[in-house]
Structure 1
Amino acid sequence: DRLKLLANATQRMNDTNAYVWAVEKLVTYYPQKQYWTDLLGRLQRKPNFSDRLALDTYRLSLATGATSAAADYMEMVQLAVQAGSLNEAQQAMDKGFAAGVLGVGPEAERHKRLKDLVAKRLAEAKAGQAQALTEAKAAKDGGELLAIGLDQVYGGQAKPGLELMQQGIAKGTKRPDDAKLHLAIAQLVAGDHAKSAATFRTVQGNDGTADLARLWALFARKK
C-alpha cells in the first residue's frame, strides 16, 4: 500500500524518475498487468529507445501477461517471423487464439491467414534447418547463429539452442548488447534463472537495451 501511495503521489507531482522507481518496485512485489503496461509504455516513449527493440518489448509484454490487444499479438507475430523466430511466432499466435483475442471479430480472417503463414514458414524452416545452420556457422558474423539458437530454445531445444547462441556471441556480432539481451531471454525461457539474471546485468547499451534488460530482470525474479 505504501508503494501504491508513493506511486500516486509522485505521479501527481510529475516526478517521473521517482514514479518509475515506485512502479518498478510494485511489479517486483505485485506483478500486475497494469503496472507492466505502464512501464513498457514509458520505456518505448523514451527519446533514446531504439525501434529495433520492439520485438523484445513485445516478448516481455507477452511474458508478463500485459498483451491484450489483437493488434499487439499480430505485430509481435509478424516481427518474430521477420526475425526468424518462428517457434516463438507460433507460440504467440496460439496464445492469442487461446485468449480469445485472435480469430474473432472483423479481422478474424486476417488472423487465420497469418496463423497459416506462420505454420508454413515454420515447416519450411525445419526442412531447411541443416542448410541454414551450415551457412550460419560459415558466416563471419554470429548473428545468424544467435537467431537460430534462440528459435531452437523457443522450440524446446534449450541445450543445443543456448550452445549455438554462445557460439554466435563468441564469433562476434554487430550489436553485442542485443546479443546478450537475447541470450538472457533464452536462458530465462530455458528455466536457468541464475544465469539469466547474471546475463541481464551485463547488458549496458544506452539505446534502450539496458533499460529493457533491467525490466526483464525484474520479471525474472518472480518466475
Structure 2
Amino acid sequence: MFKRFRQTSATAVAAVLGCALIVAAPAAAKEKPKKEEEQKGAQLKPSKEFSPALKKLTEAAKAKDMAALEAALAEGQASATSPDDKYLVSFYELQLGIGKSDKAIQGKALDGLLESGLTPPESLAPYNYFSGSFAYGDKDYAKAVKRLEAAKAAGSTEQSLPVLLMDSYLKLNQVDQGLAVAKDAIAAARAAGRLPSEELYVRPASALQAAKRNSELLDMLAMRLQDYPQPVIWRNTLFILLQQEASDKVMNLDTFRLMRATKSMTQRPEYLEYAALATEAGYPNEAVAVIKEGQAANVIQTSDERFNTILESQEPRAKADAVALKGDAAKPATAANPKLARQTADGLVGIGDYAAAISLYEKAAAGGDPLAQYRLGVAQALAGQKDAAIASFAKVQGDRARLANLWTIHLSAKAPAAAAAAAAATAPAN
C-alpha cells in the first residue's frame, strides 16, 4: 500500500485553482465629457433661472478651477428646475469629480446623467461602464450588473468589462450567468486573436468548485489549459482530477502519465505515488523510469531510502520484464487476444518501445477494448505521432473521454512561452 500525495480538504482544492488579481475599477474617462459637451450642448435648453449658474459652471470648467466649479455647482443645484438643467448639473459634477479624482462624486454624477434619459447614445457605453465599475468597487454587485449589462448592450469595448460583469454575477451567486459571460468573453477574445484574461477561467472555476459542480469545473479548467498550458496549471488541473478519481488506481495511473508528459510533476509526493501505482500494477520499467526522472530533476534525492527501496526491488524485475515483453510482442497469440495485446502494449510503453505497443494497441482496439483505444492515443503521442494521436483520442468514449480531451489539448496547445508572449502583447496599458 502507499500514501496518496493528495490533500482532500475543500480548502486545499480551492487553493490549487490559483487566484489572479481582479481588474481594478478604473477612473472615469476624461475625454468623453468634452465630446459630450460639444455634441449635447447645442441640444439642451437650460431654463432662464439656471442660465447665470450655467455661465459660471462653463467658465470654471474651462479654467479647470475646481474651487470655482464646486461653488458654481452649489448655486446651480439650487436653481436647476428643468430636466435639461439637472442634466447639466450632473455633467459639470462629473467634471468636478474628474478634476478632484473623487470617484464618489463621479459615481453620483454618472447616476444623474444616466437616470436623466438625456444621455446621447454615443455616451451610454462609457458612462454605464464607469458607473458599473464604481459600483463593483463599492461591492454593489446588483447595480454593477445593471450598469455593465447596459454598457455591453451599448457596444462598450472595454476589455475589463467582461471580467467585472462576470465576477459581479458570481458575487451574487448567479453562477450560470457568470459562466455564460465568461464563455462569451473567452470566445470573443480568441476570435479577435487576443489571449483571454485568466480571470475568465479562475473565478468561474472557483465558483463551480464551491457549488460542487465538478464536471463543469473540469471543463472550465480544460478551457484554461488551451490558453495557459504552463506546467503549474497542468499540475493544478490534474491535481483536482486526481481528487475526483478517488480510489480508482488504474485511472490515477493514467492521470499521472499525463502529468508526466506535461512535465508538471514537481514534488516528491507525486513521484512516490506514481512509482507506487506503477509497481503495484506490475510495470517495473515505468516505476524505475519515473524515479530516475525525479532524481534527474533534483526532486528526489539519490539518498532517499523510500525510493531506493523501490529501485532495489524493481530494477531487477525491469530487466527481466523487458526481455519477456519483447518475446510476447512477437507471438501471434498475443495479437490475437485483445486483452493480452493491451496488457503487453502497456508494458512496452513502459520500456519506450512505442512502435510495438502501437501495433498491439491497434489490434486490441479493433477487438473492442475501450482502454486500448485510449492508450493507443497515449502511445502515439509519446511516439511523436501527433495527428494520429489526436485522431485516436477523438474515438475515446466513457470514463477516459476527459483524459483523452486533455491529451488533445496538450498536443494542440501553443507553447507556454508563446502564450506568455501573447499575454504580454495583448495586456492593456496601465
Normalising by structure 2, what TM-score? Answer: 0.45
Is 1:218 aligned to residue 409 of structure 2?
Answer: yes
Greater alpha carbon shift after TM alignment, 196-205 vs 36-45:
36-45
Q: Which has the larger radius of gyration?
A: 2
Residues 40-189 of structure 1 mapped to structure 2, 5 A cutoff: 40-46=238-244, 50-103=248-301, 108-129=304-325, 132-133=328-329, 137=333, 141-172=337-368, 176-189=369-382
Classify 1:123/1:21 alpha carbon distance in 2 versus 1 (closer, same or farther; 3 Å).
closer
- 2:394 aligns with 201
Measure, in 1, the Cα distance between the counterparts of 2:216 and 2:258: 22
Identical residues among aligned pairs (%)? 25
Gaps of 5+ in 2: 1-194, 416-430
Cα deviation, 1:30-83, whole Å, max 9, x if unaligned, reads 212332123223323447994420100111111112212222112212322343
Classify 1:132/1:79 alpha carbon distance in 2 versus 1 (closer, same or farther; 3 Å).
farther
Classify 1:6/1:53 alpha carbon distance in 2 versus 1 (closer, same or farther; 3 Å).
same
Please tell me the residue identity of whatever aligns with 1:211: R
Measure, in 2, the Cα distance between the counterparts of 1:169 and 1:22: 30
Say which SS state the counterpart of residue 128 (structure 1) adopts: helix
Measure, in 2, the Cα distance between the counterparts of 1:109 and 1:47: 29
Measure, in 2, the Cα distance between the counterparts of 1:71 and 1:12: 25
Shift of 1:156: 3.6
What is the root-mean-square deviation in Å for CA atoms of aligned residues? 3.0
- 2:197 aligns with 3
Please tell me the residue identity of whatever aligns with 1:197: I
Gaps of 5+ in 1: none
Contact 1:55 1:76 (C-alpha < 8 Å) held by counterparts: yes
Shift of 1:101: 1.8
Greater alpha carbon shift after TM alignment, 74-83 vs 88-97:
74-83
Measure, in 1, the Cα distance between the counterparts of 2:238 and 2:275: 18
Which structure is richer in relative contact order (CA contacts within 8 A, separation 6 or more)?
A: 1
Measure, in 2, the Cα distance between the counterparts of 1:219 and 1:39: 12
